[in-house]
Structure 1
Amino acid sequence: MALFTFKLPDIGEGISEAEIVGWHVRVGDRVEEDQPIADMMTDKATVEMESPVAGTVLRLAGEPGDQVSIGAMLVEIETEGEASAAPAPSRDLIEAETPGDAAVHEGAGSPEPRGDIADEPEIAAIADGDATTRDHAILASPAVRARARELGIDLAQVKTTGDRVRHADLDAYLLYGQRQGYRPAGRSARRQDEPVKVIGMRRRIAENMAASKRHIPHFTYVEEIDVTALEALREQLNANRGERPKLTMLPLLIVAICKAVPEFPMINARYDDEAGVVTRHGAVHLGLATQTDAGLMVPVIRDAQDRNVWQLADEIRRLAEAARSGKARSDELSGSTLTLTSLGPLGGIATTPVINRPEVAIIGPNRVIERPIFRGRDVVAAKLMNLSISCDHRVVDGWDAASFVQAVRRLLEAPALLFAD
């Protein structure tokens, strides 16, 4: 037998430590060479660590949420031959449970076993307070009976509409007691409290948003834009797109932003507040806020000003798929100079987006709605969209932000200008 200590390697970015997001193994597990053992997160991306040897896991460095220094022990593995039972971990070692497929980034699932064998019906003879056996049997799964014992619930008092007592019946009993079965109008079943540890991507998001609000004096400006002509143009382009990707509103909005930026360079900038330097960027590296199962990520469209609407549509789709599948590279998640955030059909009336620090502005289109407006003396139906922008008031004045949005508005309301040199 031999003891192999797998130390956390330098995984780039000039970092000194990485966070444990989730374990793929636990103490006592047999691992093979190149088998995934842990997900580690740097400031930029999540990296899957693989075992360099085969053997039995003896120790793990910590639990999800803990930080591990570069060069420190991540996993200890017993190698060569059949490994004996792994020793119990020491007091300074916490054995992490193996995360489920959908819980690696967001936390553990339900603590109640509710599947397969645990949910098979079983007849339980329930004793009353005098320890005498009831003259009837209660159908319930082992998991339900175990939960009822923990809660001190007599299953004979629990009403059920099915063939056996289920977890939902216990929930209803806890909520209504003897009045179970009667649910006043407007009332709904109460859920159990669920503590969720803030780790991984969720913690990064929390830290970044808190730092942004703490350091940046935000202000938000909202303008209404008539996109009736733009939507008609988009429909025409999609009708003749051939094999090209379908156009949404975003590629057209990005073209308008890129055309307006040269006149308002303070919008496309990054502020190093420690050095006291604002860098106004010539190229538009547009961050695209993207919701993923792991949380909000911001992949970057490089040199957005050099791309046409079809190229932008293709790049938006590619980056969104990469972010949601966890395959986005580190360089695709950094270096943005201006961010666009959109909730699509959930866009609401207006938003007050939080700036992606160290940028100084973030733009948020809202939902397109159709309603009547006046054109001269006529009342006509129009498609309207509110456009929000949040800016860093240390760098961008309110007049500049409003003027920039008005420039974008002129382009969107006369969409032929989007394709003019």
Structure 2
Amino acid sequence: MAEHTIKMPDVGEGVAEAELVEWHVKIGDPVREDMVLAAVMTDKATVEIPSPVEGEISWLGAEIGDVVAVGAPLIRIKTAGEGDASGEESSEKVTPTPNPSPQGGGESETASPKPAKPSTVDPASPQQESAKTSAPPSPLWGGIKGGGRSLSTGAPRPEGEKPLASPAVRLRAKEAGIDLRQVAGSGPAGRIGHEDLDAFLSAGRSTSAQRGMSRNTEITEIKIVGLRRKIAEKMALAKRSIPHITYVEEIDVTALEELRGAMNAGKKPDQPKLTILPFLMRAMAKAIGEQPQINAIFDDEAGIIRQHGGIHIGIAAQTPTGLVVPVARHVEARDIWDCGAEVGRLAEAAKSGTASREELSGSTITITSLGAMGGIVTTPVINHPEVAIVGVNKMMMRPVWDGTQFIPRKMMNLSSSFDHRVIDGWDAARFIQRVKVLLETPALIFVD
């Protein structure tokens, strides 16, 4: 038997190390050529590491969350033949998958690097070695046909055996109450895909174990790695370095909703369906024209405020793998329909994980929205190093006094935060009041 060593690949762009965010295999697993073994994440992208050979995993050189230097041994595979393969080809430059790291910030809804799984593998532990030699053959490989496995075999899995699945599949299973140990996977090494969940559900299988009223004393330790770690670092930096002032204002959007409904009813087939966001973007662009200091980046170290002429609005978006902020550039040059089309395009790219690094960076001010779950008031965290973020709360029908009687009106709060080092409370309030006027009298949005 020979042993093939796979080294941490060079992902290019001067990156000297990467964080291990996901293992797709464990010691003792058989692997085939081109099968994905692991995923690593840099500040710029997530990269999947495929197997260049066929064999059996004999050693894993890191745990999830570890930062590994480029060129360091990462995986060893037993292969047929004699001698030792250094795996030099594995340290050559690798083209990153289209899952850039976020220009983090904001908090709320629209890529997508893969998050870490809750449990980790200790490649050096004796338990792993003994499990490899003494445990019975895994049923994952019992029904392999043509690179996958039959849906009729392999489940349920033994207690403690972790099923292979992507973060999106795990999230869907969690939301549906499905125990993935009970699902047969048809992918390589028994990997579970969306089609396997569909087959499981269509078969009418039970989606959750009945626990009754028994006590649950389980404690699950989840290591913060990958995208979640970067979000945590970004939020901590924003709260640590930026003294926030949050200003909340109530907006009557009755007229705006009537206009939006009429525009959607009369739109052309090639025009997007308008949400409230394009109107808010245009209102912010007009208000920034009167207060350009709101559209700025604060360089803490240099002590310089960089006031931008171009209005690049980040749209904080929640995806299955975490929070990202795709950017609509030059909103000052876009009309309502163009803003709507761009928001739709960016939202789809973010959720599908195809947004480019350029589309996830370079914002000068951010909008955050929790949609229908927006609550009455939020305290949004500024997307560092910006100086302002505008938060959209949910729309509600409320009674409003018009001087003689209460009448029903559609109301919505804006909860907005500002960097109090460079934006005074008066200027923050004046900016939001101007946005309020534009949204409550939406015809003004279209007046140059």
Give 1:102's match in structure 2, choosing from 157, 162, 167: 167
Q: Which residue of 2 aligns with 1:370?
A: 397
Shift of residue 226, structure 1, vs aligned partner: 1.3
Write out per-residue CA displacement over residues 173-201 of structure 1, whole angstroms, 9 at most, x where no aligned residue.
Answer: x44xxxxxxxxxxxxxx574333222222
Evaluate the alpha carbon distance shift between residue 312 and residue 278 of structure 1 in structure 2; reply closer, same or farther with a 3 A threshold. same
SS of 2:43's partner is: coil
The answer to which structure, 1 or 2, has the higher relative contact order (CA under 8 A, 6+ apart) is: 2
Q: Which residue of 1 aligns with 2:371?
A: 344
Code of the residue aligned with 2:242 in structure 1: it is I
Listed as ranges, the gaps of 5+ residues in structure 1 are 118-165, 176-189
CA distance in 2, matches of 1:104, 1:53: 27
Code of the residue aligned with 2:252 in structure 1: it is D
Judge conservation of contact 2:393–2:413 (CA < 8 Å) in 1. yes
Evaluate the alpha carbon distance shift between residue 232 and residue 365 of structure 1 in structure 2; reply closer, same or farther with a 3 A threshold. same
CA distance in 2, matches of 1:274, 1:329: 28
Write out per-residue CA displacement over residues 238-289 of structure 1, whole angstroms, 9 at most, x where no aligned residue.
Answer: 1012322211101110111112112222211111211212111111221111
Q: Which residue of 2 aligns with 1:413?
A: 440
Q: Which residue of 2 aligns with 1:358?
A: 385
Question: Percent identity at matched positions?
Answer: 52
Shift of residue 222, structure 1, vs aligned partner: 0.8
Where does 1:137-286 land on structure 2 (aligned, <5 Å)? Answer: 168-169=210-211, 172=213, 174-175=214-215, 192-243=218-269, 244-286=271-313
CA distance in 1, matches of 2:66, 2:434: 48
CA distance in 2, matches of 1:33, 1:75: 14
Give 1:115's match in structure 2, choosing from 166, 179, 182: 182
Judge conservation of contact 1:24–1:36 (CA < 8 Å) in 2. yes
Of the structure 1 ranges 4-13 and 368-377, higher mean CA displacement relative to structure 2 is found in: 4-13
Code of the residue aligned with 2:417 in structure 1: it is S
Give 2:361's match in structure 1, choosing from 334, 338, 346: 334
Code of the residue aligned with 2:227 in structure 1: it is M
**Structure-2-length-normalised TM-score:** 0.70
Q: Which residue of 1 aligns with 2:114?
A: none
Q: Which residue of 1 aligns with 2:134?
A: none
Write out per-residue CA displacement over residues 143-183 of structure 1, whole angstroms, 9 at most, x where no aligned residue.
Answer: xxxxxxxxxxxxxxxxxxxxxxx9635x53x44xxxxxxxx
Where does 1:286-301 land on structure 2 (aligned, <5 Å)? Answer: 286-301=313-328
RMSD: 3.3
Code of the residue aligned with 1:398 in structure 2: it is G
Listed as ranges, the gaps of 5+ residues in structure 2 are 85-121, 130-160, 185-207
SS of 2:210's partner is: helix
Evaluate the alpha carbon distance shift between residue 224 and residue 278 of structure 1 in structure 2; reply closer, same or farther with a 3 A threshold. same
Code of the residue aligned with 2:376 in structure 1: it is I
- Do residues 312 (structure 1) and 339 (structure 2) align? yes
Judge conservation of contact 2:2–2:82 (CA < 8 Å) in 1. no
CA distance in 2, matches of 1:16, 1:93: 32
Shift of residue 90, structure 1, vs aligned partner: 4.2
Code of the residue aligned with 1:241 in structure 2: it is K
- Do residues 388 (structure 1) and 415 (structure 2) align? yes
Q: Which residue of 1 aligns with 2:49?
A: 49
Aligned residues between the structures: 353
Evaluate the alpha carbon distance shift between residue 269 and residue 61 of structure 1 in structure 2; reply closer, same or farther with a 3 A threshold. farther
CA distance in 1, matches of 2:128, 2:419: 43
CA distance in 2, matches of 1:295, 1:32: 31
**Structure-1-length-normalised TM-score:** 0.74
Write out per-residue CA displacement over residues 346-374 of structure 1, whole angstroms, 9 at most, x where no aligned residue.
Answer: 11111110111111111101111122223
Shift of residue 393, structure 1, vs aligned partner: 0.8
Evaluate the alpha carbon distance shift between residue 267 and residue 33 of structure 1 in structure 2; reply closer, same or farther with a 3 A threshold. farther
Write out per-residue CA displacement over residues 374-417 of structure 1, whole angstroms, 9 at most, x where no aligned residue.
Answer: 33435332211111110111111111111111111121111112
Code of the residue aligned with 1:410 in structure 2: it is V
Q: Which has the larger radius of gyration?
A: 1
